[in-house]
Chain A
Amino acid sequence: MKYKGYVTLKIFALLVLNDALDAVAQLFLKKGVIQTGITSVTFGNVWEFIARNASSPFVLAGIFIGLANYFLWFVILYRIDLSVAMPVGSTIYIFVPFMSIFFLNEHVSALRWTAIILIIIGIHLVAKSKELPKGLA
C-alpha cells in the first residue's frame, strides 16, 4: 500500500463521514430518549425507561449507526496513526459552527472565527505531519 499512513483525500473523507455519522447517531439517540417521555430516571422507573428505549426506532437507529461508525473508525485506524486520526477527526468543530452560520444565520463573534480558523490550521498541520520517506520529499 503506497500511501499507508498518509492522510489521503479518501481517508480525510472517511474521517469527515465518521464525524457526521457520530452527530447523526447522537441526534437519533437524543430524539429517542426524549420520546420516552421520562424526564427523570429513578430506581422505580429505570426498567420502564430501558424498555421504552429498547423499543424506540430512533434509539435502535442511533445504536446501529453508532456501531457502523465504529467499523469506519477501525478502517481509519488501520490506515493512519491514532495521534493523527484524533485531531484530524475533529472536523465537526468546523462544520457545526459553519452550518449554524449559513442555515441558522447565527451571529459569529471574532472569538468564534478565531477558534474555527485555529482548528482548520491545526487539522491541516497534523494531516501533513507524516514525513515523506527520504528521497521523496
Chain B
Amino acid sequence: MLKVVLLVFLAELWNTAGQVLFKKGTNAIEVRSLRGVKNHLVFLKEIMAKPAVWLGFGSMAAGLVIWFIALAGADLSVVSPMGSMQYIIILIAAHFLLGEKINFLKLTGTLLVVLGIVLLSLS
C-alpha cells in the first residue's frame, strides 16, 4: 500500500517535470502569430528544436513506466483518487519553477477540481 502510494507520487513528479519542461520550451518560443498552416509549421519546427521539450518527453516516458509498475500491484480505488494530486504538484511546481502566480481564484478553483475528482472516484 505504502509502496503504491510512493510509486504514484514518484510517477507524478516525473510527469510534473515533463510538463514544466514543455512549458519552458513553449515559453522560449517567439512566434509572431499562430494564424494559418504555415505559422503552425514554423511553430512545430521551433518546438522540435528545443532540448527542453525532448527532455520533457523523456520525463513523461519515465513517469509512464513508473505509473505502469504502480498499477500492476495496485487497487484502482486507491490509485485513481491519487491521480488528482497531480494538480497540486503542478500548481506548486509552476509557481516556483516557472514563476506563475497563484492567487485566491486559482488556488480555490484547483482545490475544487481536485476535490471533485476525488469524489468522482469514490462514487
Contact = CB atoms under 8 A, between A and B. Distances in A.
Contact of A114 (B44, B117, B119): B119
B103 A116 contact: no
Contact of B43 (A1, A75, A97, A117): A75
Contact of B34 (A78, A90, A114, A129): A78
A122 B106 contact: no
A125 B106 contact: yes
Interface residues of A, number: 35
Nearest to B94: A83
Interface of A: 1, 71, 73-75, 77-78, 81-84, 86-87, 90, 93, 97, 109, 111-112, 114-119, 121-129, 131
A41 to B, nearest CB: 11
B123 A109 contact: yes
Interface of B: 19-20, 22-23, 25-26, 29, 31, 33-34, 40, 43-44, 47, 53, 86-87, 90-91, 94-95, 98, 100, 102-103, 105-106, 108-120, 122-123
A112 B120 contact: yes
A77 B105 contact: no
A86 B19 contact: yes
